[in-house]
Amino acid sequence: MMADRWTRMVRQLVGLGRFLPLGGPYDGAWIAERAASGVLRDAAEREVPEVRLDGVRIGLADPGEAAEPAVPAPPSALPPGPLRLTAEFAATAAWPLPETASRLRTALAVTATERIGLDLTEVDLRVTELLDTVSPASRPGTPETRGGTDTSGGAGMPGAAESEAARAPGSAGVAGAVGGGPEGERVAAVVLRVPGVSRLTGVGGLPVRLGEQAPASGDALPRRHARVDLAVAAGFRPLEVARAVRAAVAEALPDRPTVAVLVTDLD
């Protein structure tokens, strides 16, 4: 049983991809790469319909410019800093390729910064194939292609095995559904009342975690830390929802702990 649980957790983490910083070092929020990539693919399909986006990866543009987050980050999360998006795409000859690449770059950049809240500073695109037409069946979800004409660099999309937590709505009102005991249940109830939160999710099955943050110096006392994993409803900007959740959770607990938010899904 324990081995099966660990296997499911590993598959879930792999499916979510990297945890990308939302906003800056004081925002205390992250989003799963899979969730962000889905919105970016939708934007590409809507704004540049003659393109098939085959691979999307997002990482730090310059690890040396990354900052220390103000609150403890989720395990393996990227630190706050400027981000680079790399993508591969196939396109028809409806527009000259340089113009198509420019339109796609703009659509991806605007969506990442304005719709999601990522600090995106670079978009690198790689043309992999020329298409006669783009059919719905050839849209994202097909195996990515390799090779082709390199317009600035690219990378592939990791496998996206969907997690059980992402498929099922969070049930914060049920005992045992969250961590942290009664206080965890209180936090869950507060979070679900924040506009834009569609459900609680939970990497590893716990949407709310309460623990202690190690002090910055030996003279300081440990401070409590809370982490909330959630999904954001359509039409809401993840960064703004995460900020509201952090404020609500800190206000709900008497010791006003530090709070981190991980957005695992965009509904």
**Span 210-256, pLDDT tens digits:** 987 655 544 455 678 999 999 999 999 999 999 999 999 999 999 89
Among 47, 50, 53, 33, smallest CA distance to 144 is for: 53
- Using an 8 Å Cβ cutoff, are 30 and 77 in contact? yes
Among 77, 28, 31, 88, smallest CA distance to 55 is for: 88
Q: 72 pLDDT exceeds 90?
A: yes
Indicate which CATH number applies to the domain containing 84.
3.30.70.1350
Helix (H, G, I), strand (E, B) or coil at 162: coil
Tokens linked to 233:
């409803």
132 with 192, same domain?
no
If one counts every other C-beta atom within 10 angstroms of the C-beta of residue 215, the result is 11
Q: Is residue 127 part of a domain?
A: yes
46 with 141, same domain?
yes
pLDDT of residue 182: 87
**Span 109-158, pLDDT tens digits:** 999 999 999 999 999 999 998 888 654 444 444 333 333 333 333 333 33
pLDDT of residue 206: 86
Query: What's the domain count of the chain?
Result: 2
Q: Is residue 18 part of a domain?
A: no
> What are 52's strand-pairing partners?
90
Q: Is residue 198 part of a domain?
A: yes
Q: Is residue 27 part of a domain?
A: no
Tell me the residue range of the domain where 252 lies. Answer: 164-266
**Average predicted confidence (pLDDT) for the chain:** 80
154/96 Cα distance (integer angstroms):
20
**Domain final residue pick, 150, 178, 203:** 150
The pTM for the full model equals 0.77
Sequence-distant (6+) residues with CB within 8 A of 222 are: 212, 213, 214, 215
Helix (H, G, I), strand (E, B) or coil at 180: coil
pLDDT of residue 139: 45
170 with 145, same domain?
no
